[in-house]
Structure 1
């Protein structure tokens, strides 16, 4: 079944079929409905490359994630969940998805921009890529619409989407304070990444507001994965004035800190309270179940797609469109910070 045969059976020209399938205003609604119904019955599928040339739109969005962190290979459950949320939001908005991995150092700095131009992509969503990525910088400096989730970058047609990381960290510290803890330490993520830096800022702000002392040894850096959380937990538990609570900037690190407590013969939450960040599936499965700051993955995906669509449709980008989209978090209290929960 091709467009000529569809035109013959519809009793119209191939040009009319093309206009009807591409929602052109020159075709009446009755004719458009007839052609679409017949196309569906006959199993006709438009030639997408040709359709793209006619409409000058590909309905395809590129997605960039940082392969340098080996996030997929290390089975980062939050990133995988976020990727799924973005894919669903794009599908709901009738967009296709093309994955663009971060090129190696030997590749050209403009590889992403070249891919966008080669495949006629309408925009790009960027997931957790370091702000000093040169390939990303070239893309952000172009006129390609870009929405970055947890990525700090600016350009003529860019917008940032993120969870309220600082507020979430503050809520975790406030919760521990209200339980009576006054020696609250933190395990951060890699501080060159915006979410980690913002969560540390929220932790420090809450401690300052509550009048809590933060010795240098109470702040130790991890990499968002379990082993680093366990190593950081052991360092914190060996401090002269051992903390009674730990806020970890990621759930896997928080679970690692619980392992460190068990190795030290301490009970959670009796000897050490622990709160994480993200609400990955494993948070509710460990024992005790992990208290955590939940991110709204679906909300992040929907906000990124909506912001990107606004940039794609806009002739010029105003200040409102360029404003960051901040998605609220919520504290989930479970057994790792409160007995009997």
Structure 2
């Protein structure tokens, strides 16, 4: 069933069918309703390629995700949650999501060509190095681009991030309220925006409570489990180990709890642990992991909304960042029971 057959059966021109299906005012309401009902009855669907050629819009949003950047090919700890949020958001806007192939880093026009090839309405960037020529070339062009947890600039760019500073401060504030004064942290790579902001929030809240932060209480991780386990063992081996640890990502925090338990330490009796992300596994850990929750669905809806806003904005619009709120989810890994408090030296 194509538009020509639909026009023949409806006794109207192809142009009238097109106008009726697109709600154009030149077609009377009665004709519009009759053509739409006939299209539903016959199972007619507009040809996506033809509509894209006519409107220069494909209804496709590209997702640029580099599986090798910073991860050695490992899956990002909360990639799945963000993908679900993005997929739901593009569906709500009547669009589709396509994963872009990785372009060579040294080709400044690589992603621009891909965007033209797929006639993309916009691109969402996540987990990429914004300084490579291929990504920088995309950001400097006219295509709307929204970056997740990246600081970007460009004539049609915006970014979305969580309140990493505020979330880290809430985590430290909670630990202080639990009576802890020796609080350490396991950071992510601090040249990445989320890790740097979480570390800044950690330091700021410690300073507000006039608590020290010796260098030995700051251990660098990489957002993946092995580094969390190694960092916790390093902290607990100190002559005066911390009584609480804020870990900048849940994958590291879960491994840190397990490493402490394997070495005979009680969590939270000997050491309390707070993570960041609230991935699904955080609630399955025993004890359950206290963590800072991010709203992954809002990441997706906000990113797609910004793409539409950028498409309608003037080309000289200033780049901006939308910061989404976080929330502390308190579970057993950071809350001492009365019995545990009595047993702690």
Q: Give the TM bin, normalised by the shorter chain.
A: over 0.9
Q: How many residues align?
A: 338
* TM-score, L = length of structure 1: 0.94
* TM-score, L = length of structure 2: 0.93
State yes or no: 1:96 paired with 2:89. no
State the partner residue of 1:226: 225
* 1:260-312, Cα deviation, whole Å (9 max, x unpaired): 21133110000000000000010000100000000011111111111111111
- In structure 2, runs of 5+ residues without a counterpart are 339-345
State the partner residue of 1:59: 59
Choose from 329, 334, 342 the match for 1:337: 334
Q: Shift in Å at residue 317 of structure 1?
A: 5.3
Q: Shift in Å at residue 77 of structure 1?
A: 4.1
Distance in 2 separating the partners of 1:242 and 1:318:
50
2:104–2:134 contact (8 Å) kept in structure 1: no
1:130–1:193 contact (8 Å) kept in structure 2: no
State yes or no: 1:235 paired with 2:234. yes
1:181–1:245 contact (8 Å) kept in structure 2: yes
State the partner residue of 1:168: 167
Distance in 2 separating the partners of 1:216 and 1:109:
41
Q: Shift in Å at residue 85 of structure 1?
A: 0.5
**Counterparts in 2 of 1:286 and 1:248: CA distance versus 1, 3 Å:** same
State yes or no: 1:50 paired with 2:47. no
Distance in 2 separating the partners of 1:24 and 1:73:
49
State the partner residue of 2:214: 215
Q: Shift in Å at residue 158 of structure 1?
A: 0.6
Distance in 2 separating the partners of 1:239 and 1:232:
11
Secondary structure of 1:69's match?
A: coil
Secondary structure of 1:287's match?
A: coil
**Counterparts in 2 of 1:196 and 1:17: CA distance versus 1, 3 Å:** same
State the partner residue of 1:327: 324
Q: Shift in Å at residue 165 of structure 1?
A: 0.5
**Counterparts in 2 of 1:23 and 1:331: CA distance versus 1, 3 Å:** same
Q: Shift in Å at residue 72 of structure 1?
A: 10
Q: Shift in Å at residue 67 of structure 1?
A: 1.7
Distance in 2 separating the partners of 1:122 and 1:184:
47
Distance in 2 separating the partners of 1:305 and 1:151:
16
The 5-angstrom pairing of residues 277-316 of structure 1 reads 277-316=276-315
1:131–1:193 contact (8 Å) kept in structure 2: no
Distance in 2 separating the partners of 1:209 and 1:244:
19
Q: Shift in Å at residue 234 of structure 1?
A: 1.1
2:77–2:251 contact (8 Å) kept in structure 1: no
**Counterparts in 2 of 1:318 and 1:141: CA distance versus 1, 3 Å:** closer
* 1:172-219, Cα deviation, whole Å (9 max, x unpaired): 011111111111111111222211111111111111111111111211
> Please, which moves more after superposition, 147-156 or 32-41?
32-41
Distance in 2 separating the partners of 1:317 and 1:292:
40
- In structure 1, runs of 5+ residues without a counterpart are none
Q: Shift in Å at residue 340 of structure 1?
A: 4.7
1:64–1:126 contact (8 Å) kept in structure 2: yes
1:62–1:100 contact (8 Å) kept in structure 2: yes
Distance in 2 separating the partners of 1:84 and 1:273:
31
State the partner residue of 1:127: 126
